[in-house]
Every structure is written in structure tokens, then in C-alpha cells.
Chain A
Amino acid sequence: MDANIEAILYLISGVLFILSVRGLSSPETARTGNVLGMIGMGIAIIVTIVGLGEFTDPLTIGMIAGGIALGGGIGALLATRVPMTDMPQTVGMLNSFGGMSAVLVSVAAVLSPADFNIVDVATNAISMGSSIETSLGVIVGAITFSGSVIAAGKLQGVISGAPIVFKGQHPLNALLTIAALVMIGMFVVTGDATWFWAVTALAFLMGITLIIPIGGADMPVVIAILNSYSGFAGAIVGFTLGNTALIITGAMVGSSGAILSYIMCKAMNRSFISVMLGGFGGEVAEGAGGEVETRPVKQGNADDAAFVLKSAGSLIIVPGYGMAVAQAQHAIRELTDELQAKGVSVKFAIHPVAGRMPGHMNVLLAEANVSYDDVYELEDINSEFSQTDVVLVIGANDVTNPAAKTDPTSPIFGMPVLDVENAGTVLFIKRSLASGYAGIHNPLFFEDNTMMLFADAKKMVEDIVKAL
């Protein structure tokens, strides 16, 4: 195929990827967008295979067919089997594969520079620009890989969600970064591949040391950042290959992850730097500000809750990660149907960091057939709480904590929260009085208009439905 035609087809594939993201501006256009993305990917793969030229050796054919069949099979199995509650760690794993692919391709390019067109004719070695690009490719890719494995492990609960901090952590990371830059410099100047291998190994280590100090509460940000890195790793490979589709896609995915992490940081009132430095949510705060709560907690059961809901005219449900853990979304949908049939207005309020990844709650509610017209974002619904009879908080905690507005000593002071305390009655389903994921005490439990329902979220909601 003519190189110009190839380049144009790669450009088309890049444009289709842009449209696949653009489609996500509304649920109506999203499915079409996703199909456009698939077409773009099909074009990219076919053009590349055709561009390899005539190859008839069974080894190459077998490797290509085998790789696509094996990977495609695993991917398809994963996509159809994974429970929606496990999406955060699934995205984490896919980030790691993206990072690893970038590493492997960069290494393959260094091993066979002629086939990747990165040989400098004058020196008959890898050109200086390409040696910088391949080094950056392995660094970003390897950090993405090992960082994502750690993040997915924390989300899956294989590794403790608590931040793992040790003395000298930040100096160590700084030292590793400087060492990596020196190694790149040596590789570029001397052309000795030993430096390239050293920097590859170091980058895998850096992924671990960078992510391990970050606590579970900050994982949504970390997943978004690693998503961004996997994009940039791809873009760097695109520079090495001179490939339009890869450069466009890498930049798109890079901006996407960066914007999502910005949104998450803002929703937690944290700076990007403080998230990356880690350590947040480590010590379980013993009553923010040292003040010990002495007020009694009003406790209720399913019948009490059903009574309150029956006499309500309007209800806002605030779901959090606890809903995901208890798989309570289907029971909640039943409750919603039941109440709507009785003429109660039911809405859902989603905080940007509810759950363990951006948009996590929306997907779970969609899975349970809750119409997306009834689901509102924080800024769209926050003023409505004061005119609402009942708020039902299910497995959310920190995102409803009024201390974020009133207590300057609280670690989450300044974080935008849902003003649930303004509603007539707050029903709070929770397993115990324990602190939230961020380890912060919630004064809302002790308010006069709060009724605590201590139980598993799913069981409690089912019992309320029965009591209705």
C-alpha cells in the first residue's frame, strides 16, 4: 500500500477515536460512538497488517493470529463476566496492559531498530531522537504497568488499601527519578543498550514506590492518572513509529485521564501534588479536632424507615461505595418503583467521588434499570435538599459529611459535599458507626433529624420494601 494512503487511513482511524469519545456527551449518542471506535480500530489493525508487506512464514502468521485470538478471547471473557461493581480494578488492569504493551513495543524497537525505521544512516545505530523516545516510552509504560497493578491490587483488596509509608520515601522517589534521567542521558550519548535495560528495570520499581503510599480513598484519582499515563505512553510509541493514529489517541487518552483526575481532586478539595505524595487516610482520625461526640444516636429499623418514607412526598437517594459492596442497586430500584407507584418523587444524588472511580454509581444504577433522567450530579441537586422530605443515604459517608463545611480542623474541610442535613429527615444505612474510607468521623450521625439504620445495605433496603 502507498505510504500516503496508509497515513490517511491512520488519520481516519484517529478521527474515529475522537468521535468515539465525543459520543459520550450523551447516553443517546454513546453507543454509536463506541461502534465508530471499533471501526477505527479495525482500520488501524488491517492497515498495519497489510503494511507489513508480503509475509508467508508460518511463524509470523501464527504469532499474529495467536496473539489476537488469545488476547481477544481473554478480553471478551473479561468484558462479559466482570461484575459492574468491579469496574475500577478492571480499568486498573486494562491500564496496566496498555502500559506494558508500550514497554514491550519500545523494547522490540530497540532490539530491531531497522524494522522500526529508527536507524540513523550516518552512524548506523538508533538515532538520538528515537533513543530518547524509546527510553521515555519504557519509563512511562513501566510506571503505568507496575503502578496500575498496585492500584488494582488495592481496589481488589489483595493489597491493603491503607497507604504504605516509610521514612525517606520522598527522597527515595526523587533519587530514583534523577537516576532514571541520568540513565536516559547515558543511553542517548553512548548508545549502550545496557543503560536502556537499566532504565526499564528502574521504571518498574518506580511505579511501585510512587503508588504504594497512596491510600484507598485516593484511588479514583490514581486510576484516572494511570489512565492518562497509559495514553501518554502510547503517544510516545506513536512518536517512535511516526504514527498519526497512535499520537492522536495517546493525546486524547492522556487528556481524558488528566481531566478526570482534576475533577476528582477538585471534588475532594485535594491538590494533585498532595494526592501523589500519598499518606492520606492512613491514621484513623479520632474525632476530627479531638472533640469526642457524646450525643446519642437515633437508631431505627426497617419498619421505622418504611413509616417515614410512606408519609414523604419527596425522596433523594444518595448512594456510595457501600451500595456497590452490598450489591444493593437492584433492591434500591425496587424501592424506587414501590415509592414512585405511591406518588413519591424519587431522585438520586451522585457525588463526583462516590464509589471508587468517576461515574461508578451511575453505571451501577443504570445496571439496575434506574432511568438516567432521575440521576443528578452534585451541583444540579444540592440546592434541592432543603425542599426535600427525606434523604436516604446508602453506603455513602464522607461525601455527606457536614464537617467539610463547618470544621476547619477536619481533613476534608473545604471539600464540596451533599447538603443532606438540610432535608426533613435523613435515613442513613450503614453497617456500623465506623468512620468512612478516608477515616474521618461524621457528625451527621448524631443530628436530631438523622435516623441510623444499622444493617447491610441490601438487606435493609429489601426489608424496607417488604415493610412498605
Chain B
Amino acid sequence: MEMEAVAQIMGQGVDPFIFRVSLFVLALFVGYYVVWSVTPALHTPLMSVSNAISGVVVIGALIAVGVDLAQGASMGSKILGTIALTLASINIFGGFMVTQRMLAMYKKKN
């Protein structure tokens, strides 16, 4: 009985979905305050770095490429995963590199 109560307080009875929603909502708030702190002069790099970090969908692409055909997974997943991996890589490399290129241009008066 006591263990069960502890488990409930620790949130073990909570659906993982609720944890994900909690994380998402908190991240929205963090995003809200962090993005408002970005100087308007850097709004273009903000958009390109957003492109780069949204490339983190690469995680899903890698899982899709790595599906196990021997366990009955679909070849379609592997192929689509490879395309997604390529596109996400364009975002990651293109996004970070073009951001770096832009940021290198911002100079103070010498």
C-alpha cells in the first residue's frame, strides 16, 4: 500500500504522454522568453539556426533507416528514412554553416 502511494507521488502511474506534454509546454515557455531576447539585427540568423536545429528530426530518420528487416520491418521505412536523413542533413549542415557565415560578418566598429 505504502509503496503504491510513493509510486503515485513519483508519477509512475502517469502516462508517458503526459510527461511529453509537460516537457513540450515548458519548452514553449522557454522558447518564448529566449526568442524575445534575440536582437532584431539577428533575426535572419535566428531563422537559419532554427532550420539547423529542426534538423534534429534526424533522430527519427536514423531510427527509420535502422529498422530491422529480419524482424519484419518494412523496406519502405528504410528507403523513406534514407531520404529523410538526407534532407535533415541538408538542414543541419546548410543551417549551421550559413548561420556561421552570416555571424562572421557582424562586426563592431574598429
Contacts and interface: CB of A to CB of B under 8 A. Distances in A.
B14 interface: no
Contacts, number: 387
B7 interface: no
B82 to A, nearest CB: 5
Contacts of A375: 41
A227 interface: yes
Interface in B43-79: 43-68, 71-74, 76-78
A303 to B, nearest CB: 30
Given A90-B98, A252-B53, 20 more contacts: A24-B39, A25-B38, A63-B78, A63-B81, A71-B87, A74-B89, A76-B94, A97-B90, A104-B80, A105-B61, A109-B60, A111-B73, A111-B77, A112-B73, A249-B54, A250-B27, A255-B35, A359-B40, A371-B107, A377-B41
Contact of A64 (B62, B68, B74, B98): B62
* B interface, over-half SS: helix
B53 A94 contact: no
A366 to B, nearest CB: 4
Interface residues of B, number: 84
B51 A95 contact: yes
A338 interface: no
B97 interface: yes
Nearest to B17: A129
A329 to B, nearest CB: 11
17 contacts: A21-B38, A24-B49, A37-B49, A44-B59, A53-B66, A63-B78, A64-B62, A64-B66, A67-B86, A105-B80, A115-B67, A238-B24, A242-B20, A246-B59, A250-B54, A358-B47, A362-B42
A66 interface: yes
Contacts of B72: 114
Contacts of B35: 21, 252, 255-256, 259-260
B5 interface: no
A246 to B, nearest CB: 6
